[in-house]
Amino acid sequence: MGLLAEERRNSSPPASKEGGKPQKGPWGKVIDGFCICLNIASTVILVFLNNWILKDKQLKNMQILFAMWHFTCTSIVLWVASRSPFNLFVPIRLPFLQMIPLCAFFAGFLVLGNLSLAYNSIGFYQLAKIMTTPCVAVLQYFFLGKSISGATIGALASLCIGVALTNSGATGTTALGVSIAVAAFTVTAFYQVWIGKKMKDFAVSSPQLLLNQAPISVLLLAFLVPFFDTVPDFSIIPNDTLIALFLSGLAAAALNLSQFLIIGRMSALTFNVASNVKTIIILTYGWMSEGRMLTAKDALGIILALGGATLYSQLSQR
């Protein structure tokens, strides 16, 4: 029996009389806290490692290989997590041909996200990612017929206004960078909507689906390398950059693993709150590294953006 299963058996008493999820013992809360800390730490570390790596001119031109490395690490970590003694989930083989379109979007949003980080400041990159939320809501409305309440519209409007206010002071942003950022959050939104539908269609959990996606995505991207990537001369790349490249793969795998642990053990709302904490940390460090001072308009924008994202998450859980 796996670690998490053993912990649930030993420390989780029956559900309370009022109903709801079973109450967790002290050990269960410790594991929950560890999962949240791992997710926050891996995300923040990954963003800054990637930013460091992509400053190298050679590595900046190997976006496909970069994504393949992250997918490979994710595949290995998930495979290990599904085996004894961990047994965090039961691996399932899904139809290969049905997975290809989903994997294409999966690879697309990661490559575009890395490109956005390469051609934009950390602050702009992070705030642009928040725009995935309203994009998902719009796609669900038009393609899945999911209604949007007045309160939800207000939350999304707050989010968009907040992002616009905060990014209005961004420096060094180019039309190319903005275009890539818009493409990144649009493709990510399509992927998130589609993955939710596929999980229901296949009746699988997120790690089961991801373990099928990641290896296939590596295979798909391998065909694109000769056309889009310039294979670097690793002998002239600084050792510290190569170490950062290696660690970024581990951080990407830890991020994916902790993400499904949080949603599975707690809730999507908890994951949203953790995401807001990550956003604040990344923005603060990013602006400090750029020498940008936090203005009253920036502070108001952050409050509106994160407040709108949190409210939307709460409303979507009802």
Domain boundaries, the chain: 3-7+27-316
- Give phi and psi for 14, each to the nearest 5: -60, 160
Q: Which residue's entry shows tokens 């409305």?
A: 141
Give the per-residue pLDDT at 7. 32
Please compute, for residue 255, the number of CA atoms within 13 A of its CA located in the half-sphere on the CB side: 19
CB contact burial 179-214 (16+ within 10 A = b; e otherwise): ebbebbbbbbbbbbbbbeebeeebebbbbbbbbbbb
* Residue 58, number of CB atoms within 10 A of its CB: 14
pLDDT in tens, 196-254: 788 888 888 878 988 999 999 999 999 999 888 888 898 999 999 999 999 999 999 99
Quote the pTM value.
0.74
Give the per-residue pLDDT at 65. 93
Give the per-residue pLDDT at 168. 64
Give the per-residue pLDDT at 68. 94
- Please say if the pLDDT value at position 267 is more than 60: no
From the list 169, 159, 168, 171, the residue with the least C-alpha distance to 131 is: 159
Give the per-residue pLDDT at 318. 65
Q: Which residue's entry shows tokens 């275009």?
A: 179
The stretch 91-108 carries a mean pLDDT of 91
pLDDT bucket at 91, cuts 50 / 70 / 90: very high
